A and B are shown apart, each in its own frame.
Chain A
Amino acid sequence: MSQWIEISTLNALADGAYERFEFDDVDVLVFREGEHVYAIEDLCTHDGAELCGGLYIDGEIECPRHGARFCVKTGQARSAPAYGKVSTFPIRIHEDGVIELQLDDA
Chain B
Amino acid sequence: MRLGIVGAGQAACTLIAELIRGDFKGDILVFNGETHAPYQRPPLSKNWLKTSDDPTSLRLLPEPLETHPSIQWIQTSVQSLSPDQGLVTTDQGTYSVDHLVLATGTTAIKPSIPGLASESIHVIRTLDHALRLKKSLEGVTNITIIGAGFLAFELASSLADPSRTIRILAKGIRALPQVAVKTADRLVDQAPASIRVGVEIERFDETTKALVTNHGSIPTDLVIAAIGAQPNAELATACGLGSSDGIPVDEFMQTAHPKVSAIGEVSLHHQPHLNRIQRIESISEANDSASVCAKRLLGHPEPFQTIPWFWSDQGDAKLQIAGLCDRTDEETCLIESETELVMIRHQGQRVTAIEALNSAKEFMAARRLLDQGDLALDDLLQAGSVFARLQSSRS
Q: What is A's interface to B at a CB cutoff of 8 Å?
A: 45, 47, 53-55, 57, 62, 64-67, 77, 79-81, 83-85
Contact = CB atoms under 8 A, between A and B. Distances in A.
A80 B361 contact: no
24 contacts: A45-B62, A47-B43, A53-B360, A55-B361, A55-B365, A55-B390, A64-B360, A65-B311, A65-B318, A67-B309, A67-B364, A79-B287, A80-B10, A80-B13, A80-B17, A80-B286, A80-B287, A80-B290, A80-B291, A83-B13, A83-B14, A83-B60, A83-B62, A84-B62
B283 A66 contact: yes
Interface of B: 10, 13-14, 17-18, 40, 43, 60-62, 65, 283-284, 286-287, 290-291, 309, 311, 318, 320, 360-361, 363-365, 367-368, 390, 394
B10 A81 contact: yes
Contacts of A83: 13-14, 17, 60-62, 65
Decide if the interface of chain A is mainly helix, strand, loop or mixed.
loop
Contacts of B283: 66, 80-81
Nearest to B64: A84
A71 B60 CA distance: 20
Nearest to B18: A80
A68 to B, nearest CB: 9
Nearest to A78: B21
A11 to B, nearest CB: 21
A49 B71 CA distance: 29
A67 B10 contact: no
Closest CB pairs A-B (n = 4):
A84-B62, A64-B360, A80-B287, A80-B14
Of B13, B17, B61, B367, the most chain A CB neighbours within 10 A belong to B17
